[in-house]
Amino acid sequence: MGDSNAKWFARGLRAGVPIGLGYFAVAFTLGIAARNAGFTAFQAALTSFLINASAGEFVGFSLIAAGAGYLEVAIMELVANARYLLMSFSLSQKLRPETGILHRLLIGWYVTDEVFGVSISAPGYLNPFYTYGAIALACPGWACGTFLGVMLGNIFPASVVSALSVGLYGMFIAIFVPPAKESKIVRALVLISMAASFAFARIPLFDGISSGVKTIVLTVAISAAAAVLFPIREVKRDA
């Protein structure tokens, strides 16, 4: 018999503490962008609660501020958030086959980079309540940070806002460093991914490609190559 849903939820809460704190800090800058686009604090917080996408929201607020049309906003949001499709496909393989559609929809609603990172790293099959625990802190952290960003963000110096934004990158690094230390293959793939991302950002040939599309291309190419060259034997998962 596996652990109860309550225990999995508590584990998710612990994993969600740094995510929620990081989101709260980073969302200040998002709140400033929302305010510049004419959003009230409530409207910006509601947007963050429903969309849960940093790059997508930044793109949306910027386009709205520039007076873009609905179609342009919709297309850019699709491009900016397309990487979440890949994360959702991966998480669907982590769930038990009998997991109900409601659980799948709820998890799919909040597939963010960091929540995906802790969820995919959970041992054995993913218990949905583990992800719910992480979401329970991540979601209000992101929404409340956006709210306060609209209200107070312009009061802080630019250097302070920039420093707060760096914290999320450090938190995300902490997700993949442990498995990279344990596996030479993972460590090599991380280094290759970093080098390829740097090259895509610097080579003028790729300037016309959005960051979201670059992420998708690199993710598919590198993960596919790793799956072919270093396949992982299927093993029975623990409950």
Least confident among 30-34, 59-63, 215-219: 215-219
Are the C-beta atoms of 62 and 32 separated by less than 8 Å? no
Is it the case that residue 163 has pLDDT exceeding 80? no
Tens-place pLDDT, residues 64-117: 888 878 887 888 788 778 788 888 988 998 999 999 999 999 998 899 888 998
Q: Which two tokens stand for residue 237?
A: 């998962």
Q: Are 226 and 189 in contact (CB under 8 A)?
A: yes
What is the Cα–Cα distance from 133 to 71, expressed in whole angstroms?
35
Closest CA to 84 of 60, 109, 61: 109
**Mean pLDDT value of segment 163-185:** 70
Number of neighbours of residue 134 by Cβ within 10 angstroms: 30
Q: Mean pLDDT across the chain, nearest whole number? A: 83
- pTM here is 0.70
